[in-house]
A and B are shown apart, each in its own frame.
Chain A
Amino acid sequence: MGELKQFDDYASKRDVKWHSVCQESDLIDNVGVCALLEKNQIAIFKLITGEIYAISNYDPFSKVNVLSRGITGDIKGQPVVASPIYKQHFNLKTGQCLEDESVLLPIYAVQIDDGEVQVAV
């Protein structure tokens, strides 16, 4: 997966900026949405447990932007989304692909603040 840009851990960035992308009420439990931020497509999932995750929307196996439309769940305790195209699973916390350890997707910091869904880039 050489074409993937190495992900820079957001926490190490000096100037983290939160962007509002939608209202919490726009989200359905366990169903993703996709936000566009500085040309990045970001898939956001609020799980039924209340946890919220943001991960790249790009599926490196099918090479299309579709992960926000995948089914969420947990595999061996890890929260995951399954690609709707070829069904690989990605850990929502880390971006790690469960079927191919060489594949790591960018993840993003995400929070809900006063009913607003915010992502840091």
Chain B
Amino acid sequence: MKKNLVVVGNGMVGHYYVEKVLEANLDYKITVIGGEPRPAYDRVHLSEYFAGKKPEELALTTREFYQDNHVNAYFGDPIVSIDKEKKCVTSQGGMTFDYDKLVLATGSYAFIPPVPGHDLPNCLAYRTIDDLGEINASAKESKVGVVVGGGLLGLECANALINLGLETHVVELSSGLMNVQLDEGGSSMLRRKIENLGVQVHTSKATELISKGNERRLKMSFADGGELETDMIVFSAGIKPYDELAKSAGLNVGERGGIVIDYRCRTSDRDIYAIGECALWGGRILGLVAPGYRMAEVAVSQLTEETTVFKGADMSTKLKLLGVDVGSIGDSLGHSEGAMRYVFSDARNEVYKSLVVNKDATKLLGAVLVGDSADYDTLLQYYLNEIDLPENPDDLILPQRDGAAAVGLGVDALPDTAQICSCNNVSKGELIAAVDDGVTTLAELKSCTKAGTTCGGCAVMAGQILNSELEKRGIAVNRDLCEHFPYTRQDLYLIIRSEKIKTFEELIARHGTGHGCDICKPAVGSILASCWNEYVLEKPITQLQDTNDHFLANMQKNGTYSIVPRVPGGEITPDKLIVLGQVAKKYNLYSKITGAQRVDLFGARVDQLPHIWEELVAAGFESGHAYAKALRTVKSCVGSTWCRYGVQDSVSMAIRLENRYKGLRSPHKTKMAVSGCTRECAEAQGKDVGVIATEKGWNLYVCGNGGMKPRHADLFASDLDDETLIKYIDRFFMFYIRTADKLQRTATWMDNLEGGLEYLQSVIIDDKLGICAELESEMEKIVDTYQCEWKTTLDNPEKMKRFRHFVNSDEKDNQVVFVQERNQIRPATNEEKLELLETA
């Protein structure tokens, strides 16, 4: 019989432990009991809930995952007792589970200082998804909010209150913000920066009493006699380990809390392990997720032949707090014996950096970065791998002057053991092994090693290692478009633009060989359209078009076409709807509503297309470009015009956007949507470009998609006005068209950009490459030269001649056969076709 492994707690670390046990394929029956009503979720990114993330998007796993892996999982019924003698645990609801090995991953809870009044209504904690719901509800009735705690969690929480639109205060007991991670200089620079963002910071404030307020709902009274009125208070002043369960079972716990564990993560009972923030290791609670993951790995190893031990974990951290880059490495406070500090402080640009080095300045012991954490990865590697510092260590943090070479650390200098991704514990050696196994792109590297998939901080460095390794192997990764062009799509785009090439023949004569193929021709056709926007059926370029572009309709499996007229924003008059119905009826077309708020009419023969379009154009329809690698639609909800909850007119914005970008040809199809409020009924986060209304304007999301590999779009910029929104989208699309690979959708494109989202923001918002004006004028040209391809075609008898099946006969293709199903046509199956053709 299998032994029983029982895991109590299903937070990030508890779940990670189960994943690792499953990976190790151990002979245990696994049972998981979580106290919260839902499976594990990403607590690190909790504040994104207020930026619009749903609880299910924060989820790290699902009940189905556990089912599929034969793990018994129970949620919402916490374990309340352990019987060490009988080796079983009992839940609040009375369920009992026998164990052979027990793992406690009970985590921690928000420490609430025992101040009188701390339990008044609107005094809340910031720790779980349920807490967020309460904060949200309270904030709806509030103008002013106070966060108690100026540490890492407290500032995350302040970010949440700002997102909720509150006047936000941070009250901190000690003399500075984040004083566990930052030295004094860093801490005061951080303070200055977040005060500029409108957060009011109160340090050295000990709260003595919380009582009913006069102006606002609550009043805080401080030891120094000061007072502060607020509508709500959120405590985020540190964590306390959940150790009551262990304590009542008689396991050793620390004086100030925490289940005592040894270097094998064992508690005082040999069959019970504790991991994560409930565990006390070496007298410390390690309140970050990475050390928790390391403990989980060590605890799993105890069940295998090859046991490992936990020797502590690096507590370095890099994050963005309220939009401010902050990094802290190693002994950032300089407590080590003989430690010396280098400091660089730039008050004008609000950047602070400091290095802590050993007494002969040869090794890096720690570092602090505020306002610019670009050096973090390099400094972390110096620290973790004890790499010798350059002669002048301050060169590492001093700004580069013109002409001076950057003093960085090439990735080649790192040993194979260097940890690159600390979240998922991926070393340089493992990345190299992945390259040995044939990985050639950053996206592949991320998906097979998991490096850069949690916080994303190491993605740039992972990309550099990838490139350097590929180069060493002499693998010029062959990204040539095809045998006819020794160039990538991006190269060809730049060549075509700079040399003002207008035809395929010109391009292949100058830069290629042979006559082209079905790979390079449509790709070049698309680039020519993106650059010059000429009518796609013009003689020299018509040969480049796929059959869909060539006949301005979508070929289906039986050789007939479907027709999708444009319906901007999904808004359509009854008269136009009637025309669609009449046309469908007249030509006996199968009709279906698409997912993009349009109508698709199927089963048109090539000779019918112009006749159908003549009627559609006469009724005011335009080509919908469903046949092209181009902007398809801008989906919308009804927005503030009709909806009780809408805060902006999403339909008008969708129509404006669709009319601006219609016909824009790109490396792949693109889709957009506009939602009128945060309920997101238009599903904008599943689109290449999504726009979601806020009280103050529009939030812009980019690089989402549905399809084979769904991906939620990332928040790109918040609270934009109409003009800025359109400016950013102009730049985004043209930058995508300029730099994406052939048939690469925006999501993969961004995953492959070194620096990912942040890089994209720096290019499009901060104009880091100085190309924004160019991108905008390129887009302006496309917008100005738009034409409805069907209208142009109908006006041109020469082009109309192509729409026939036989060049020498008006007969129809007798192989196109339909049968009836649910009162409409559908293509006959091969068997049906044979039967029908025989009887005919």
Contacts and interface: CB of A to CB of B under 8 A. Distances in A.
Interface of A: 21-22, 26, 28-31, 33-37, 41, 44, 47-49, 58, 62-66, 69-77, 79-80, 82, 84-85, 87, 89
A74 B514 contact: yes
B808 interface: yes
Contacts of B522: 71
Contacts of B542: 28, 31
A47 B544 CA distance: 13
Given A21-B807, A74-B516, A64 B558 contact: yes
A35 B807 contact: yes
A63 B484 CA distance: 30
Contacts of A34: 805-807
B547 A76 contact: no
A22 B558 CA distance: 26
A73 B806 contact: no
A36 B557 contact: no
Contacts of A79: 515
A76 B483 CA distance: 8
A62 B49 CA distance: 48
A41 B515 CA distance: 26
16 contacts: A34-B807, A35-B807, A48-B543, A65-B815, A66-B547, A66-B559, A71-B518, A71-B522, A73-B484, A73-B514, A73-B516, A74-B514, A74-B516, A74-B517, A75-B517, A89-B518
A36 B811 contact: yes
Given A28-B539, A48-B515, A36 B809 contact: yes
Nearest to A39: B814
A99 to B, nearest CB: 12
A66 B514 contact: no
A106 to B, nearest CB: 15
A33 B522 CA distance: 19
A52 to B, nearest CB: 13
B543 A35 contact: no
Given A35-B806, A41-B813, A48-B505, A82 B517 contact: yes
B483 A63 contact: no
A28 B543 contact: yes
Contacts of B192: none
Given A31-B542, A41-B813, A84-B547, A65 B559 contact: yes
Contacts of A30: 515, 543
A58 B559 CA distance: 11
Interface string B805-828: 111110101011000000000000
Contacts of A71: 517-518, 521-522, 543-544, 546
A44 B807 CA distance: 10
B547 A73 contact: no
Most buried by B among A21, A66, A82: A66
B515 A74 contact: yes
B488 to A, nearest CB: 19
Most buried by A among B518, B539, B550, B809: B518
Nearest to B516: A73
Contacts of B483: 75-76
Given A22-B808, A33-B807, A35-B808, A70 B547 contact: yes
A30 B811 CA distance: 24
A66 B559 CA distance: 6
Contacts of A26: 801, 807
A71 B546 CA distance: 7
A94 B645 CA distance: 66
Contacts of B558: 64
A87 B521 CA distance: 13
Contact of A73 (B505, B515, B808, B813): B515
Nearest to B513: A74
Contacts of B808: 21-22, 35-37
B647 interface: no
B518 A22 contact: no
A11 to B, nearest CB: 23
A82 B559 contact: no
B506 to A, nearest CB: 12
Contacts of B559: 62, 64-66, 85
Nearest to A75: B517
Contacts of A21: 807-808
B830 interface: yes
A22 B807 CA distance: 7
A20 to B, nearest CB: 8
B555 interface: yes
A117 B512 CA distance: 31
B382 interface: no
